[in-house]
Structure 1
């Protein structure tokens, strides 16, 4: 790749990179943009609702004109967009993307093999999958958090008491999922098999077994009831799409509801969500919260913050984990394979394995205040020191630019 440049070499007054960011509704877009700016780079933004992640003639023309009118060092997006890659390949401009969702169906597209791409994936298993396909520039990069921004929100707040909870969960219940609509038309055998698969997945901690349970015979039967809608350039298949967009979301709905219901029988539980909570009779519905202005206060003021990782994320750590620890909150989460690689259990966070364990550990840490506070503080200090956006984005630039770019 060439001689690596000195870390932090790109800064205001030195070599500045010209970056074009495609903006969509990703939560961490603003943190990334502000970090690039703080590092001394020049950032422009293009924003437009896409007709399709694969092709959009109006957007393609607009993006192409911007790349021709101004010399950008790269285009950046949160998550991968084939339509952006197609234009960047045509214009010979680097395209950097960093995933925050998994799996990205949009990545199962022929454009993923283009030379312009530098794809950073927060889920190691998915990263290895694409590397195994021969994708040249595919790299593993965990997510991050801006503790300085969160500290500023919390330290300047005069309404923190409004967000105090014993145990809190912020997130979706996925009650509007495709499986509940589909099961009405499924034959009894097929419905029974799929529900057994989901029950089996719920009993497995830290591993995803859904795809391997969708055998060729089962997939052949499913084709009669579930039709794929994909472009001719996509190489996603029925197993991938059904296991994630149908079963994955349904399993998440079951896990979250069951966990919250079991816990609410023993301790006060609050939920912040846009979802329908009518089944959660004992859970205190607190409405929805703004990601930027309110959610950090919930995480700081809740004695226990829950994370239930959707099974579609096979090994990686979702953004919610980073946001909880970055706000100085106590994190209690299901196990993910990458957790021991980055954090230390019972020192930075606490894991639960199933509903019984969730209840027992919640009761323990609610009655052991100093131990709980020490874990929350240790997790906060670790992400502040080692997992900031500045560190992650510098790692990204170190990989993409092995040598300093030419002076402007």
Structure 2
């Protein structure tokens, strides 16, 4: 028996997708008023002439439909094949009320092939005519068990008088059409604030449902935006409210179609970090020492960059660069012929180069430190530094504040994925009462230069001199530490960042 021939259509990401014509690929939602209710199709599929017979539709009754033009343009003789009694309507005419009072039929393959067009329509269908009641001054934050930042954000929003509801992000991301309407039935919040797209499905249905319910959505891209966007399968993000920790990505995001992006750096949480913390047993004896706290690689790094290699000529160019030159993500983007940056996974090649350079930079810095104490994983044990003392990780909330306070100097080395992105160390160390030295990074321009200049190095061989300068508790060190802490607590707390979000989204 010959295999059926299916339409091969190019979806909105430029990928070839099979679009079969079969009755079972249509989902029929019955109206509560079955007799007088109209029929509305969301997508006709590749053989619209067969629909009247498949659904037993009379030829003398008008059938309404919406269709993504990008799909229709790929169906041969599409206009001639649409039955005469089928009437096309606009997206504005398909309201929550009209969908609730109609039999609605969805052609499912097109829903994922062209989600930017269909997701808002499905959102109206899902919510129907009833608008959720408003929950006064309420914020939803999707989280996982081990997420950082969400505790800080929740505390900061609560301090502004908001009720904060922490929601399991996994159920929202996997089943937005079920999980979100169930939650919204209890009321709609003012804001849904996602960190790194948590709680939002790749096809944008969750975002569309929230917007249809009148909820403002903010997406804070804490990590490299283009690494994160490889998991997004719809152009909905271009219309989303994007916050970025690294301002140097605003231009590239707009270049790829984003309509709104603004800067929101990391910050400190005095309630969680200024006091408290207990020094763990393996951190004893660091009072006169230089310390470094950090992972040797981000979780699942090898999986994310699987199959990718750094071009040999660019690796050689970066290896031969001048001392202190930063071979960051934008350098690799300028030297690699990868465009566009979205959609697809090709952009991970740029990230692989930046990751290689960042790992090399960190190892060069830690190799030049001499007797540095490293709190991190075993990936640091093969450093080219026989005096490095790798002691294992410390708990972020339970131990790290005390570790920062106890050490003579804490070293920060930034990676190359975020060319102008700061780390939590830039804020936490000062907040906890510690003392930081850091590599030069364009993101440091959010702080006064008179505070940055004394603690900044550009080359690995500058680390030891800074450590020796600030190892002892001199009056100059104490004054600089106090000035930094005053600056952080005045302008760079999560309370200040939340106020930025509230103003930017006009809450």
1:271 pairs, out of 374, 381, 394, with 374
Matched, 1:19 2:155: no
Please list, as runs of the form range in 1=range in 2, the aligned pairs for 1:126-275 lying within 5 A after superposition: 126-153=249-276, 164-174=287-297, 178=302, 192-199=312-319, 200=321, 203-205=324-326, 208-215=330-337, 235-236=343-344, 238=346, 240-244=347-351, 246-264=352-370, 268-275=371-378
Q: Following the alignment from structure 2 to structure 1, what is the Cα–Cα distance between the partners of residues 471 and 316? A: 35
Distance 1:106 1:61, change over 3 A: farther
Which of structures 1 and 2 has the bigger CA Rg? Answer: 2
Counterpart of 1:46 in structure 2 is: 167
Q: Following the alignment from structure 2 to structure 1, what is the Cα–Cα distance between the partners of residues 378 and 280? A: 28
Distance 1:370 1:236, change over 3 A: farther
- Whether the aligned pair in 1 keeps the contact of 2:194 and 2:218 (CA below 8 Å) is yes
Q: Following the alignment from structure 2 to structure 1, what is the Cα–Cα distance between the partners of residues 486 and 327? A: 25
Counterpart of 1:83 in structure 2 is: 201
Q: Deviations over 1:274-297 (max 9, x none)?
A: 232332332112211011111111
Distance 1:86 1:379, change over 3 A: farther
Distance 1:194 1:163, change over 3 A: same
Q: Deviations over 1:153-194 (max 9, x none)?
A: 15x879895653510100012398649x979x97xxx75314
Q: Following the alignment from structure 1 to structure 2, what is the Cα–Cα distance between the partners of residues 291 and 348? A: 28
Shift of 1:400: 0.8
Counterpart of 1:224 in structure 2 is: none
- List alignment gaps of at least 5 residues for structure 2: 1-134
Distance 1:214 1:165, change over 3 A: farther
- Whether the aligned pair in 1 keeps the contact of 2:408 and 2:472 (CA below 8 Å) is no
Counterpart of 2:476 in structure 1 is: 371
Distance 1:367 1:127, change over 3 A: same
- Whether the aligned pair in 2 keeps the contact of 1:329 and 1:380 (CA below 8 Å) is no
Alignment partner of 2:289: what SS? strand
Q: How many residues align?
A: 356
- Whether the aligned pair in 2 keeps the contact of 1:348 and 1:375 (CA below 8 Å) is no
Shift of 1:111: 1.7
- Whether the aligned pair in 1 keeps the contact of 2:246 and 2:419 (CA below 8 Å) is yes
Shift of 1:104: 4.6
Q: Following the alignment from structure 1 to structure 2, what is the Cα–Cα distance between the partners of residues 118 and 45? A: 20
Distance 1:191 1:211, change over 3 A: closer
Distance 1:349 1:75, change over 3 A: farther
- Whether the aligned pair in 1 keeps the contact of 2:375 and 2:394 (CA below 8 Å) is yes
2:503 pairs, out of 373, 378, 398, with 398
Q: Following the alignment from structure 1 to structure 2, what is the Cα–Cα distance between the partners of residues 119 and 284? A: 40
- Whether the aligned pair in 1 keeps the contact of 2:136 and 2:190 (CA below 8 Å) is no
Distance 1:249 1:40, change over 3 A: same
TM value normalised by structure 2: 0.63
Distance 1:214 1:270, change over 3 A: same
- Whether the aligned pair in 2 keeps the contact of 1:330 and 1:373 (CA below 8 Å) is no
Q: Deviations over 1:36-74 (max 9, x none)?
A: 122221121211447xxxx95435521332124322112
Shift of 1:305: 0.9
- Whether the aligned pair in 2 keeps the contact of 1:314 and 1:336 (CA below 8 Å) is yes
Distance 1:277 1:129, change over 3 A: closer
Q: Following the alignment from structure 1 to structure 2, what is the Cα–Cα distance between the partners of residues 296 and 201? A: 36
Counterpart of 2:393 in structure 1 is: 288
Q: Following the alignment from structure 2 to structure 1, what is the Cα–Cα distance between the partners of residues 242 and 389? A: 41
1:74 pairs, out of 188, 191, 194, with 191
Matched, 1:105 2:227: yes
- Whether the aligned pair in 2 keeps the contact of 1:60 and 1:83 (CA below 8 Å) is no
Alignment partner of 2:397: what SS? coil
Shift of 1:251: 2.0
Alignment partner of 2:194: what SS? strand
- Whether the aligned pair in 2 keeps the contact of 1:206 and 1:336 (CA below 8 Å) is no
Q: Following the alignment from structure 2 to structure 1, what is the Cα–Cα distance between the partners of residues 439 and 363? A: 14
TM value normalised by structure 1: 0.77
- Whether the aligned pair in 1 keeps the contact of 2:286 and 2:408 (CA below 8 Å) is no
Please list, as runs of the form range in 1=range in 2, the aligned pairs for 1:351-366 lying within 5 A after superposition: 351-366=456-471
Q: Following the alignment from structure 1 to structure 2, what is the Cα–Cα distance between the partners of residues 163 and 47? A: 39
Distance 1:88 1:49, change over 3 A: closer
Alignment partner of 1:69: what SS? coil
Q: Following the alignment from structure 2 to structure 1, what is the Cα–Cα distance between the partners of residues 261 and 179? A: 27
1:381 pairs, out of 456, 478, 486, with 486
Alignment partner of 2:425: what SS? helix
Counterpart of 1:28 in structure 2 is: 149
Q: Following the alignment from structure 2 to structure 1, what is the Cα–Cα distance between the partners of residues 450 and 225? A: 26
